[in-house]
Chain A
Amino acid sequence: MKRPIYIITGFLDSGKTSLLNEILPKRAGRSPLVLQFESGEEDLVCQEPPIPCLKFRKRELEEASSDLAERIAKAFAEHRPQEVWIEYNGMALFSQLYTILSSLPSFGGEYRVEKVIHTADYPLFMQTFGKTGAAPLEQLANADIVLAGNIKSEEEEKRLRRIAQSFDSNIRVFRREEKDALFQELFRQKSSLSSRLLLSGIGLAAVFLLFSKLLEDTSGKLNTVINVFLGITLQAFPFLLIGVLLSSLIQVFVSKATIERIFPKNLGTGILTAIFAGFFLPVCDCASIPIFRSLVRKGVPLPAAVAFMTATPVINPVVMLSTYYAFNGNLRVVFGRVILGILSAIAIGLLFYFFPARQTERFSQIADLSLCSCGCYDGSEESEGFRGKLFVFLRHSQIEFFNVGKYLLIGAMVTAILQTSLSRSFAATNAGGLAASVLLLMLMAFLLSLCSSSDAMIARGLAGRFPMPAIMGFLVFGPMMDVKNVILLSGYFSKKFILRLITVCAAVCFVTVFLFSKFLTGV
């Protein structure tokens, strides 16, 4: 049985010491050792019998970790504690402490970190969270238990739980008052990683075998679903990768100041610059969404960023070429698509300018922060210089790939199921007027979630049965918004914002296409 190390992290004045003062009297019989990396307002009451307590300053933590490790090792050897309690500094990286601990000779064999408790004073937490650098985020991400003080309502507790669990869904959140529950959780043996992995492996294998059995007959619809899912995934992954790499490049190498300097502040030129940039980026919608997010984070005004996101997948050279090719060189279709795409993007950008989204509406801010806390900073001491930045860039792109990739997979699966189960009859009936058929094909583009480089071919297949404006609605709206995109966006943005984006895009595309239908059918 290994001897446990308990670590308490949390912001200054969040109640770390008072928690220790509550716990330690109960643990006196197990000859604990206390290591303190922060001296707050409250003093540790190392009362009868006196509990050995080592204090370190934050400076020591930063400067000479080998020296520090030696002192800790010596204390371990001298006191032979049955358990160790560490009060950590609120502004230091958790990984620094963990690295020191793992360098101890007795670590791994004799001692192991049993639980990490993150204390949070709710009002203070909400005020400072995400604004005080990487350390608090990284500490929260590494916690097993979050202990919340000053929580006034169910609502607040839920909110905190949502934030904590966005970092790690296994984090348990307790109120400061729930002492019994806390102690129970604190001293509960946790299942080991290997047993958890083994269990999930067995579960996965069982599901796999079940589906293998179901799929033996490959003539059914399930076969089509698997095929379409793999097709979309294989097709979209490389493009998603391009998007994630470009977005991480912006995140890591381009500073906010640079973007602010070079990106035009003026609304008009800003939107035009965005569309111009979109023109030269040969990426499809899977790639434009991560880039969109990076631009917004780096301070590009929302109208311009939205114009970029909606224009890129419609007007880039690859899409133009595939449209040209699909429609056998019919330039009217190609230019119609590009011009309507640009016009719609400008209109959407302007709408976001005149009816701005509130800051809080935009990001599911949590997801944004958690992205950067679960690994990017683990080697922060190395993130200096080009070499260091290169590694951060690579790590950032990996994390972002996993983060967005899961939404892409869900999107691909939903699309695969929709494609196989949707009856074409709704597409083949060309009843109603022009407006109805435009709406119908826009809806179809939304549901089918085709890649913008291939949708032209499908559109051509429809060209015999639908009027040209409807085809345009399909070609312009499809790349901007579809099921897959919405699921991708939900990895970054709040529901409210996405809903707004869908509504605005749909309305603008419809109006643009409708207004220009004369031009399209006329000539």
Chain B
Amino acid sequence: MKKKLHIQTLLEILCYLAFAALLLYLCFSGGYKMYVTARMLPYFYFMIAVLVIWSLSSLGRLFRPGYKSRSAHILVLLLPILHFFLPHDLILQSNFALQENISASASSGEILPADQAAADLPPSNFYLPLSGLDEEEKFIFVTDEEFGAWYTELTANGEAYDGYTIRIKGFIFKSPDFMKENEFMISRLLMTCCVADVAPGGIISVYENSPSLAAGDWYTLEGRLQMEKRTGYFVPRILVEKLETAEPVDGYAYP
């Protein structure tokens, strides 16, 4: 008598391992950043561990005789894997209405302007120390990687940087909803939790020639940070002094 492989168990084990491999690949290649933030990493490692334990514990059933073999349920793991292999790319800025009133946009997330946070009790910073801070020269150089971290820091602790000169790169985002004629937001697409909440976010910048700037174009700007009281809260503003076109940055920023 030859031992017969139980197909259902085999398929299940293959799916566990395939999903674990996908997660492992996403963790190590940094590919996860396209879908979720780094905060998910420990959870991914946990899931990989469980999937491997599941596979190992199923090995014993691999040759246990069973009359029926089901297979439809493995789609639960298979479908996300297949979706991953479908061609897809980062969500583009152009998906968010850039010049129109944002209320008309069909965006998937909410716009996060730095000035609408109710910032009356500054928390300790989650990202310190941040590079690019020169306290003697009162200068902040925001690297592409730290856009999100500086966004958070300036929103929360803006007072500490009043009068600093800041150099920051992003795209132009305009919304008549909460910006004046001579203002734009120097923005990146921010991912707070997962790609479902990606939305443009940044710091409002004041610039005379603002109306001539095309929304969605990338610039590096330099200007002075000024805290301004709006709707009862102090929020950061950049008074733009220098503006130069820049190459677009791939990927999202993570506040």
- Cβ of A238 under 8 Å from chain B: yes
- Cβ of B76 under 8 Å from chain A: yes
**CB atoms of A424 and B40 under 8 A apart:** no
**CB atoms of A328 and B103 under 8 A apart:** no
A94-B67, A395-B57, A458-B110 in contact; A235/B50 too (CB < 8 A)? no
**CB atoms of A227 and B118 under 8 A apart:** no
B93 to chain A, nearest CB (A): 11
| Cβ proximity bits A167-197 to B, threshold 8 Å, 1 near / 0 not | 0110000000000000000000000010011
Chain B stretch 186-213: residues in CB contact (< 8 A) with chain A: 192-197, 199
- Cβ of B248 under 8 Å from chain A: no
A35 to B65, CA, bound (A): 20
Contacts of A462 in B (CB 8 A): 110
How many residues in B have their beta carbons less than 8 Å from beta carbons of A? 87
- Cβ of B36 under 8 Å from chain A: yes
A379 to B66, CA, bound (A): 10
Report the nearest B residue to A216, measured CB to CB: B87
How many residues in A have their beta carbons less than 8 Å from beta carbons of B? 96
| Cβ proximity bits B2-16 to A, threshold 8 Å, 1 near / 0 not | 101001000010000
Chain A stretch 300-355: residues in CB contact (< 8 A) with chain B: 324-331, 333
- Cβ of A378 under 8 Å from chain B: yes
A168-B68, A395-B57, A460-B112 in contact; A424/B87 too (CB < 8 A)? no
> Interface stretch among B78-86, B215-223, B238-246?
B78-86
| Cβ proximity bits A395-428 to B, threshold 8 Å, 1 near / 0 not | 1011001110110010000011001111111011
Contacts of B74 in A (CB 8 A): 402
| Cβ proximity bits B50-68 to A, threshold 8 Å, 1 near / 0 not | 1001100110110011111
**CB atoms of B112 and A457 under 8 A apart:** yes
Q: Which one of B95, B178, B192, B199 lies within 8 Å of A454 (CB-CB)?
A: B192
**CB atoms of B104 and A425 under 8 A apart:** yes
A423 to B192, CA, bound (A): 21
Report the nearest A residue to B11, measured CB to CB: A197
A227-B35, A235-B193, A379-B64 in contact; A425/B103 too (CB < 8 A)? yes
A215-B88, A226-B88, A429-B103 in contact; A330/B193 too (CB < 8 A)? no
19 CB-based A-B contacts, threshold 8 Å:
A102-B4, A107-B1, A142-B68, A218-B88, A218-B89, A219-B95, A230-B35, A230-B84, A234-B80, A239-B43, A330-B119, A379-B61, A409-B76, A409-B80, A423-B104, A450-B197, A460-B116, A464-B178, A465-B177
Further pairs besides A227-B35, A234-B80, A428-B103: 5, Cβ < 8 Å: A216-B87, A235-B35, A402-B74, A420-B108, A454-B194
Closest 10 CB pairs between A and B?
A454-B193, A461-B110, A428-B103, A231-B195, A464-B116, A238-B43, A405-B76, A102-B65, A231-B194, A457-B192
